[in-house]
Amino acid sequence: MILNKPLITQCKHCGEIIEIDTDLECVFSQERSMGVESQYEGVIDDVCPNCSNKISISIDVWEYPVGAIETYSIDTNGIELIESPDFICEDFY
């Protein structure tokens, strides 16, 4: 699982647009009726390059069946996500 393009976020403190790119690691998988279900996680802790406001983002993606995004959740702190994320199930290609 990878991000097709960086996440576009905005600093809640100064309004700076911050692009965040991260790898998503498989943290869990299990066999289900239609194949393997996998959970991927990415966590970023950083500061705003403009105002040094602390920012963090935590991404949780479930892939099931293989090659399909089942669901995802994104928690942010100090920043706001201003564009929908675009995930790619890289094993699929």
The yes or no reply on residue 51 touching Zn ion (CB under 5 A) is: yes
Give the one residue of 6, 13, 56, 60 binding Zn ion; rule: CB under 5 A: 13
Q: 3-class DSSP state for residue 84?
A: coil
The yes or no reply on residue 11 touching Zn ion (CB under 5 A) is: yes
Which is nearer to Zn ion, 32 or 54 (by Cβ)? 54
Strand partners, 30: 37
Largest Cα–Cα distance of the chain, in whole Å?
Answer: 49
Using alpha carbons, select from 54, 50, 43 the residue that is nearest to residue 77: 54
CB of 37 to Zn ion, least distance (A): 37
CB of 12 to Zn ion, least distance (A): 8
Q: Given the structure tokens 């700076």, which residue do they identify?
A: 16
Site residues (CB under 5 A) for Zn ion?
Answer: 11, 13-14, 16, 48, 50-51, 53
